[in-house]
Amino acid sequence: MREGLMLFPLLFVVVVLLLVPLGTLGWSSLREPGAAGGWTWENYARFFASASARRALGNSLGISLGVAVVSTLLCLAPAWLLAGRDFRGKRWVRAILTLPMAFSGIIIGFLTVIMLGRIGVVPRAFEALTGLDWLQGAAYGFGGILVAYLYFEIPRATLTLEAALRKFDPRWTMAAATLGASPWQRARLVTLPLVLPALLSTFAVTFGASLGSFGVVLVISRRVSLTPLQIFDEVFAFSNFEAAAAMSVVLVVLGFAMNFFLRGLASRLLAHRA
Amino acid sequence: MRDRPLLLSVALGSVSALLLVVVLAPVLVVIAGSFLNTAFLGISSERWVAGGESELVTFKWFGYVLNLYRPQLTFGVQLALWNVALCLLIGVPGGCALVRRAFPGCGILEDLLLLPLSIPGITVSIGLLQAYSMIRGKWGLLLAGQLLYTLPFMVRSVTSTLRAHDHAALERAAHSLGAGFWRTWWLVTLPNLRHALVVGSLLVFAVSFGEFNVSFLLNTPLYQGFPTALYATYTTNSFQVSSAATTLFLLVIVPVLLVIQALGGRESTKIEQGA
Amino acid sequence: MTGSLSIENLSKHYGATAALQRVSHAFAPGRVTAILGPSGSGKSTALGIIAGLLAPDVGRVFLDGADLTRVPPEKRGFGVVFQNYALFPHLTVVENVEFGLRVRGVGKAERRRRAGEMLDLARIPHLAERRVHQVSGGEQQRVAVARALAIRPRVLLMDEPLSALDARLRDDLRAELARLLRELALTTVYVTHDQAEAMSLGHALIVMNRGRIEQAGTAEEIYRAPASPFVAGFIGAANVFPDAEKLSDGAVRLPFATFPANGTSPPGPCWAMLRPEAFEVAREDEPADFAARVESAFFLGAHMRVQLRAGDRPLTAEFPAGAVLPSSGSLRLRVRPGALYIRANPEP
């Protein structure tokens, strides 16, 4: 009973603020626009029929996949050092790498424009040094967006990987060495299979975070369309809640599917472990 | 008992150093840009507001930004504090009850609670807008949306601490010494949670203050968080004003993050957060 | 005989701390040498260098005359049993055991056969298809031994292989391991901090302290004639007196009494040792060497352990369980002839 009292507010939040809104989302995605409308698949059909909506979804998925791969691989380096070794300034390294944790996409977009934009620091420095203007306006292309997304995935990827790599016992590779495994065999037969679950779950985390993000693109370039931005436009430009709801459902389902798939894979691999 | 291969150390070290530079450099440029006269340095944008070109260092943009965005700054802090208060009120008892697994379905409830962290913020805010259109325009909806994203941090902080220390045994010990349910909670559970509560509160504050994905749709012209003000600045103002506004944001958020790191809040920060 | 392993002048520093200082030893071929020492004594560092997992600052490792110092661990062919076994969690028991054969390119059928032999040897054939985390601690230890032996190692290295187990299991496995190691007749280096383990498993013993070998020899030699106060206290129980003095008349002065002593050491300061069994209670009609106060006494089955105080010195003594101890607080005691051991102070 007392536990019930302690739990009730939590239950209230989950039901009223999460389940009811998500249910409403699903419900209205199946309604015809307007108060008098009936049930329909039209919102989904229109979404998948629209070339621009498909392009936006492709951008969202492409950016998220690309950034998930790149950030997982790059952050493996600091995570490995943080998890396995003691060195001076370790706390500072972690503090700096987790700095972007609370930066929203728009701030990172602004930082990217400053660094890589038309008058950005990096292109100007590059031009001053080499006389080449290759990097001018790098922020506004796909590359700039990727770098910006990488920026906010660094804390997530590093912390998730570090936590997982803490469970990696360096004696495993030592044991493999004493049993005659060459460095390449150790990496292939011991390190990779034991680190793979950590990589997969980090991939899932970073992919999920990127999929819903739109602040970066909002600041950098409205020429690149993303599904979250289209949702925003449906609501504010066209007041078409039903279409926005359908788009939202698609986004949530895709995010879930990827998460479900990767976590399933990771836990199948982890089932081999204690 | 192993010597590290040198080549691997160098490779890991260089990639890490590169990432450190990538994270730190833009922040330093923005901070520098907020008080250095960029026109003086030869950097300027076409939106540059003329004036003050003669001096190298100027803090006038801070005054300008503070003046312009004081309502958003104060509201952002207020909103973050509301989040902290509600998370403490709801998340702490809730977290304790979840750990105890008092009811069937506690596991599902815990999963549902963490769900918002893995779905796009904009979809949650659309759902909230549709479900509760009658209170649209009030800041209650904004707080509700943020709460979905802050509450998991507090609950995780609490549950991971309790699970790490086999808290149930401590409570049984307290009961055996004659302490009742509430006394045990007050004298044993809460003191053990002190660290988790501090770290959790700071996390909640930081997440709320910097949140944009959910807030963007739920903001109203009257009630806006600071990131929304930043967005407005970026689209309408000069580089220096934008830099000063961003620096102001950093001044609030960076100390909070540093304290979290100093307190060793690593375990609880590892949960993914939508940006 | 093959398998003659030796180390020469090994030193290893971690920053400013010296983990190993000029350590040399020739290990007896085909026998078990136990390296015994407290934590931080350098015994694991020595083992790591022999295995090739650590590089020494200076010094060399030889096997049958060949210098192995620069040979990587995977080319040494030494079997290593790690402290927490370091079994591969993603592989089954039999896959763990055959790992060394797999990386050598041994065919599947052949390596299954040899892994099976090893599991029989370790008495765990029924666990072959289990996952590592599905077997108990004692069984994991057997898997680790089987895995190390499967490569037909030239030398077997074991780092505290029993320390992760509880006391009862440890005793059982110790006996079985002793039998196995005797049958194998492999040159084995066995690192432990447990003297009972070292004495029951090792044909030869090395006692290490602070990165140096304090003494090497058989268990009995070391027990009877410890080379330093540290060894005296570490192997068996001992009352050690670092501030004894040999007088010019041949007697030895301890803080609480003076004893006639054998031994040929020259007069001067020395250290002395009395094992707990060195004492006997003087009969009423006998002269006593000294008197001591009884502080506490425990019945330990075959004998009584008594905590005494002579002057301001605490002493530990053991008497046969049948010994008649006066109930009063004081005992008149004699030291058995030849039981007082003295040795010149070690070089500073």
Write the pLDDT tens digit of every residue in C17-57. Answer: 889 999 999 999 999 999 999 988 999 999 999 999 999 99
Say what the pLDDT of residue C36 is: 94
Q: Read off the pLDDT of each residue in B210-216 and give the average, rounded to a whole number.
A: 87
Q: Which are the contacts of C313, defined by CB distance < 8 A and separation ≥ 6?
A: C241, C255, C256
Question: Which residues of B, range 69-128, sit inside 8 Å of A by Cβ?
Answer: 89-91, 93-94, 96-98, 100, 102-103, 106, 109, 112-113, 115-116, 118-124, 126-128
Is residue B191 assigned to a domain? yes
Query: Which residue among A171, A185, A193 places its CB closest to the CB of C90?
Result: A193
Cβ C80–A190 below 8 Å, yes or no? no
Rounded Cα distance between B66 and B138, Å, is 24
Is C60's pLDDT higher than 90? Answer: yes
Identify whether residues C160 and C260 lie together within a single domain. Answer: no
Is residue B104 assigned to a domain? yes
Is C217's pLDDT higher than 90? Answer: yes
Is C102's pLDDT higher than 80? Answer: yes
B119 neighbors B59 (Cβ within 8 angstroms) = no
Closest CA of chain B from C160, distance in Å: 13
Q: Read off the pLDDT of each residue in C133-145 and give the average, rounded to a whole number.
A: 92
Closest CA of chain A from B148, distance in Å: 7
A155 confidence band (pLDDT: 50, 70, 90):
very high
A271 confidence band (pLDDT: 50, 70, 90):
low
Is A140's pLDDT higher than 70? Answer: yes
Between A37-51, A221-235, B36-50, C40-54, the lowest mean confidence (pLDDT) is in B36-50
B91 confidence band (pLDDT: 50, 70, 90):
very high
DSSP string across B68-128: HHHHHHHHHHHHHHHHHHHIIIIIHHHHHHHHHT-STTHHHHHHHHHGGGGS-HHHHHHHH
- Phi/psi for A24 (5° steps) reads -60, -40
Is C115's pLDDT higher than 50? Answer: yes
For B4, the closest chain C residue by CA position comes to C54
Residue B255 CA: distances (Å) to CA of A123, B145, B229, B249, B258:
31, 25, 21, 11, 5
Say what the pLDDT of residue B39 is: 56
Q: What is the average pLDDT value for chain C, to the nearest integer?
A: 89
Identify whether residues C145 and C250 lie together within a single domain. Answer: no
Say what the pLDDT of residue B3 is: 60
Domain that holds residue B142: 66-269
How many folded domains does chain C comprise? 2
Chain C partners within 8 Å of B6 (Cβ): none
Query: Which residue among C74, C89, C151 places its CB closest to the CB of A182?
Result: C74
Write the pLDDT tens digit of every residue in A163-209. Answer: 888 888 889 999 999 999 998 899 899 999 999 988 998 998 899 88
Q: Read off the pLDDT of each residue in C125-132 and give the average, rounded to a whole number.
A: 92
For A170, the closest chain C residue by CA position comes to C86
Q: Look up the CATH number of the domain holding residue B247.
A: 1.10.3720.10
Rounded Cα distance between A146 and A71, Å, is 10
Identify whether residues C213 and C134 lie together within a single domain. Answer: yes
C287 confidence band (pLDDT: 50, 70, 90):
confident
Pairing of strands C155-159, C78-81: parallel
Identify whether residues C11 and C88 lie together within a single domain. Answer: yes
Say what the pLDDT of residue A12 is: 92
Say what the pLDDT of residue C282 is: 84
Write the pLDDT tens digit of every residue in B8-32. Answer: 889 999 999 999 999 999 999 999 8
Q: Which are the contacts of C268, defined by CB distance < 8 A and separation ≥ 6?
A: C245, C246, C344
Is residue B6 assigned to a domain? no
A274 confidence band (pLDDT: 50, 70, 90):
very low
Identify whether residues C311 and C211 lie together within a single domain. Answer: no
Please, which residues bridge with residue C58 across strands? C11
Structure ipTM:
0.86
Is residue B38 assigned to a domain? no
Write the pLDDT tens digit of every residue in A105-119. Answer: 899 999 998 888 877
Q: What is the average pLDDT value for chain B, to the nearest integer?
A: 82
One-letter amino acid at C327 equals: S
Q: Look up the CATH number of the domain holding residue C175.
A: 3.40.50.300
Say what the pLDDT of residue A265 is: 83
Domains plus CATH for chain A? Answer: 50-270 (1.10.3720.10)
Identify whether residues C242 and C192 lie together within a single domain. Answer: no
Say what the pLDDT of residue B270 is: 40
Identify whether residues C32 and C159 lie together within a single domain. Answer: yes
Identify whether residues C70 and C215 lie together within a single domain. Answer: yes
Q: Read off the pLDDT of each residue in C340-347 and give the average, rounded to a whole number.
A: 80
Q: Read off the pLDDT of each residue in C269-279 and give the average, rounded to a whole number.
A: 89
C327 vs C63: which has the higher pLDDT: C63
Tell me which residue has tokens 């000063």.
Answer: B244
How many folded domains does chain B comprise? 1
Is residue B246 assigned to a domain? yes
Say what the pLDDT of residue B47 is: 41
One-letter amino acid at C23 equals: V
Rounded Cα distance between B141 and B129, Å, is 8
- Beta strands in chain C, from DSSP E residues, in sequence order: 5-14, 17-26, 32-36, 58-63, 66-67, 78-81, 155-159, 187-192, 204-209, 212-217, 239-246, 251-253, 258-260, 268-274, 279-281, 290-299, 303-310, 313-320, 330-335, 341-344
Query: Which residue among C51, C84, C133 places its CB closest to the CB of A178?
Result: C51
C93 vs A218: which has the higher pLDDT: C93
Is residue B3 assigned to a domain? no
Q: Look up the CATH number of the domain holding residue C322.
A: 2.40.50.140
Closest CA of chain C from B5, distance in Å: 11
Identify whether residues C225 and C264 lie together within a single domain. Answer: no
* Both tokens assigned to A108: 């990172």
Say what the pLDDT of residue C114 is: 94
B2 confidence band (pLDDT: 50, 70, 90):
low
Tell me which residue has tokens 């973050």.
Answer: B80
Please, which residues bridge with residue C156 across strands? C79, C188
C174, C226, C181, C227: which is closest to C200 by C-alpha?
A: C174
Is C139's pLDDT higher than 90? Answer: yes
Is B43's pLDDT higher than 60? Answer: no
Domain that holds residue C317: 238-344
Identify whether residues C205 and C84 lie together within a single domain. Answer: yes
Cβ–Cβ contacts within 10 Å for residue C9, how many?
12
Q: In the Cβ-directed half-sphere of A224, how many Cα atoms lie within 13 Å?
A: 22
C348 confidence band (pLDDT: 50, 70, 90):
low
Is B266's pLDDT higher than 50? Answer: no
B81 confidence band (pLDDT: 50, 70, 90):
very high
Query: Which residue among B4, B89, B234 places its CB closest to the CB of A106?
Result: B234
One-letter amino acid at A218 equals: L
Chain B partners within 8 Å of A115 (Cβ): 25-26, 29
For B182, the closest chain A residue by CA position comes to A2
Write the pLDDT tens digit of every residue in A55-104. Answer: 999 999 999 999 999 999 999 999 999 988 778 888 889 989 988 988 88
Cβ–Cβ contacts within 10 Å for residue A9, how many?
17
Please, which residues bridge with residue A173 across strands? none
